[in-house]
Amino acid sequence: MSALRRLALAMAFISCALGGVYLLRVPILTGVCNFLIVQDTLEPSDMIFVLNGDIATRAYQVAKLVNQGISDKVVIVRAVDSLAVDAGLQPNVTDMSVLMMKRAGIPEAKIVQLPFPKGVTSTFDEARALHAYVQKNSVKRVVVVTSAIHTRRARWIITKELAGTPPKIMMSPAPDPRYTPRNWWRQEDGFIGCQNEYLKLAYYLVKYR
């Protein structure tokens, strides 16, 4: 076979492969986002553990679960005060989360704030705080609420930190109204969010393995 013929065959193969990828781009990219999302079958639980951040989506997901009777206790860990908080320019993100949950219909009496030295700064810190809490309390089931694309990383670090303790961990993803797994790459927020979450997942797998 001549070199020219081999080159032509190689280019034809590459063209077909690229064409196949293009035709399958939607299911492929949808799968990229779906991999980050963990949705467990939920059971009545001792507590709902909500992670700090994305206060609107997570707060309303928690309210939905409380209304469904999943649990009547919501636990959140106190976050670190940012420079803006220290300067009096904005409230602590945990305070905003609690306020949003109250506005979503959750009575303040059902919300428990856990202290943490200097405040949590990461999902890893929140997993440590949860570990300490379940060791001191009779907790058999925990539903964790966080942003949808954050659920895989959150479950990984939480189950790792709680290894050897009784609670069953169940994830309940809070959907983002700005994008879905079927269009995240067309939205700036979705593209940046998924990209950053994969970077964070890789970082966690390396640092905390």
pLDDT in tens, 35-70: 999 999 999 999 999 999 999 899 999 999 999 999
Residue 206 pLDDT greater than 80, yes or no: yes
Compute the average pLDDT of residues 2-28: 60
Q: Is the pLDDT of residue 16 over 60?
A: no
Range of the domain at 61: 33-207
Q: Is residue 146 part of a domain?
A: yes
User: Domain for residue 110, yes or no?
Assistant: yes
Mean pLDDT (whole number) for 117-122: 96
pLDDT value of position 10: 58
Q: What is the mean pLDDT of residues 107-131?
A: 97
Q: Does 112 map to a domain?
A: yes
In a domain, 155, yes or no: yes
Number of domains in the chain: 1
CATH of the domain at 129: 3.40.50.620
Question: Which of 19-28, 65-74, 114-123, 158-167 shows the lowest mean pLDDT across its residues?
Answer: 19-28
Residue 13 lies in a domain: no
Q: Does residue 104 belong to any structural domain of this protein?
A: yes
pTM: 0.89
Looking at the chain, the whole-number percentage of residues with pLDDT higher than 90 is 84
- Averaged pLDDT for residues 15-33: 70
How does pLDDT run across 162-189, given as a tens digit for each residue?
999 989 999 999 999 999 999 999 999 9
pLDDT score at 209: 87
Supply the pLDDT for residue 9.
59
Q: Is residue 140 part of a domain?
A: yes
Within a domain: residue 123? Answer: yes
114 DSSP β-pair partners: 77
